[in-house]
Structure 1
Amino acid sequence: MTLDLQSIVDGIVSEAATAQDRGKVADYIPSLGCIDPAQFGIAIVTPDGSVHTGGDAAVPFSIQSVSKVFALTLALGKVGGDLWQRVGVEPSGSAFNSVVQLEAEKGIPRNPFINAGAIVVSDVVLGSGESRDAIGDILRFVRFVSGDGSVFIDSAVANSEADTGFRNVALANYMRAFGNMAHRVDDALKVYFHQCAIAMSCRQLAMAGRYLMMDGINPDTGRAVVTPVRARRILSLMLTCGHYDGSGEFAFRVGIPGKSGVGGGILAVVPGKASIAVWSPGLNARGNSKLGSEALERLAAATNWNVFTA
């Protein structure tokens, strides 16, 4: 059966437009607190290069923790499987910025998608260079996989993150005390805050996820970004850990690997079938886009896109 994806997208956008409960924007980061919660966008890219968009799909937004997918890809390219000595692969069951588990687990974060794990990943991406070099590496990589040189870092958001990121500072220092930070805390955090401040539209973000849709291959070049095994492992982490303590519910309701961010974006990937980005700034109680999560649930039902379906 041939899917009429544009009709499905249009229907999802129409439903989102009438939603009364749109969640709550992440106002603890001042630059995100002023975003209009009425906005909603969606973009779907398929292996044949078709792009289907709807709503505010061309509006750039702060991808926040969605950036952790791209930083993880770079870190694995630098140190390979050695990364898993410093960060785990298990769901946390705790809030994305929780300090609690670090003490019991001796400074080893549960996974690379909670804040503590992503800060370790930033420390790895730093390598032997300066923070500005690592920030540049991440931005160039995202531009490369999206095929779009206009992707940018919103300096106002980065500064806002730094001004209010006291818990992230605590997480980094706590891990430093356990010997799980190789660089100065300030340098790793600078990388982390700037990667979270990357601004992209739904269309750009869906394009950036294509290498995970295509088993590690960048369809623009036909060359591998990561190995097939590594691409599958990233997707596995997205499914089990990509929505923090709401990951189980997202897997249960949607059944697609996804990574959310408190800017309201979600990158979701159906292996071999689609790279999808949704955005709506209002968050649910778990810190994930409320309308974005609901839109992906509707999309999965309409397309039968589910990693548990043959």
Structure 2
Amino acid sequence: MKRLKTAIDAVVEEIAKTDARGTPSQAVPALAGADTGQFGIAVHTCEGETVSGAAADTPFTIQSISKVFSLTLALEAHGDDVWTRVGREPSGDPFNSIVDLERHEGIPRNPFINAGALVVIDMLLGKNAGKASHDSVRAFLEARIGADAIGIDDDVANEEQSSGFVNRALANLAKSFDNLDNEVETVMKAYVEQCALTLSCEGLARAGAYLMSDRADQHSDSVAEARRARRINALMLTCGQYDGSGEFAYRVGLPAKSGVGGGILAIVPNEAAIAVWSPGLDDNGNSLLGTRALELLAEKMDWSVFGSIERR
């Protein structure tokens, strides 16, 4: 634990010296004026301890990171039937591409682009007999980290609801191909409220802890959960950073999912769940300082799904 604390302190110190800080998301006015100098980091280990640094207790909207939790719920509810309506491949197009959805006749390329998330939420609405998807995600999170750790930014939710024209177009196109069962506005409301949920880095790291371990005992539920975690991690590695997923895998080497609020959830299998946050984004919509921090921490801790350097 001492090594981890030393590494986090060193990362915080180096990030504070970094001049390039990115640009806040311009898609949501409530996010556009964010201070790009803000930065937080937290690591929740497999031993159950949380080590953090900088503004790790500052809440932010999780945005697309919520897609990891809604996908988990959909897989729990529907199993492999999820993949009859959503693909598992990187899109190669922008995360909100209408052309890509039309090209594949209403089947989104993966659950982490916007069209895929909308279809996943549609599945949850059907499963929960009209309950809003964010209620299920929120309950999912509350069971892991407690209700006090979770909030919602109503300003962000209202802005995204009123200005989400591209997402509505995606939902309507999916519906035209019979890949959306509920009304578009019902799906949209659940989607924007899910994205507007707020967590701190400390809360997000603890919330993602269920993805860190694929060690399962012989209990069937445990085996199923471990297998599901592996598969979600695989999708996070290949699709979790929009069009920057390949670059992220090269630099960091860990499964991760980003959000335009500046957060990133990353997983070190069998070791830790990491959350970083800084609202300045790169050209792909991923936190610039957050990505750099993960690269530094992975190097200092010798963490990578592609093997250990120190233990060879």
TM-score normalised per structure 2? 0.93
1:129 to 1:272, Cα distance in 2 relative to 1, 3 A? closer
Letter in 2 for 1:184: E
1:216 to 1:143, Cα distance in 2 relative to 1, 3 A? farther
* Equivalence for 1:232: 230
Structure 1 contact 216–227 (Cα < 8 Å) conserved:
no
- RMSD, aligned CA: 1.7
Please give the secondary structure, in 1, of the residue aligned with 2:148.
Answer: coil
Offset, 1:274: 0.7
Unaligned runs of 5+ in 1: 218-222
Offset, 1:128: 5.0
Report 1:137-176 matches (<5 A): 137-176=136-175
Structure 2 contact 215–270 (Cα < 8 Å) conserved:
no
Question: What are the Cα deviations for residues 82-127 of structure 1, in whole angstroms up to 9, with x where unaligned?
Answer: 0000000001111111111111110100000000000001101112
* Equivalence for 1:262: 260
Letter in 2 for 1:213: M
1:211 to 1:263, Cα distance in 2 relative to 1, 3 A? same
Decide which of 282, 305, 308 is 2:306's aligned counterpart. 308
* Equivalence for 1:77: 76
Percent identity over the alignment is: 52
Aligned mates of 2:215, 2:108 — CA distance in 1: 26
Aligned mates of 2:223, 2:279 — CA distance in 1: 30
Letter in 1 for 2:178: G
Number of residue pairs matched? Answer: 304
Report 1:1-310 matches (<5 A): 4-127=3-126, 129=128, 132-215=131-214, 224=222, 227-310=225-308
Unaligned runs of 5+ in 2: none
TM-score normalised per structure 1? 0.94
Runs of at least 4 residues off by over 2 Å: 128-135, 145-150, 214-217, 223-226
Aligned mates of 1:34, 1:294 — CA distance in 2: 22
Aligned mates of 1:17, 1:123 — CA distance in 2: 42
Aligned mates of 2:153, 2:52 — CA distance in 1: 23
Offset, 1:44: 0.4
* Equivalence for 1:220: none
Question: What are the Cα deviations for residues 194-230 of structure 1, in whole angstroms up to 9, with x where unaligned?
Answer: 110010000000000110012388xxxxx85962111
1:89 to 1:127, Cα distance in 2 relative to 1, 3 A? same
Structure 1 contact 43–53 (Cα < 8 Å) conserved:
yes
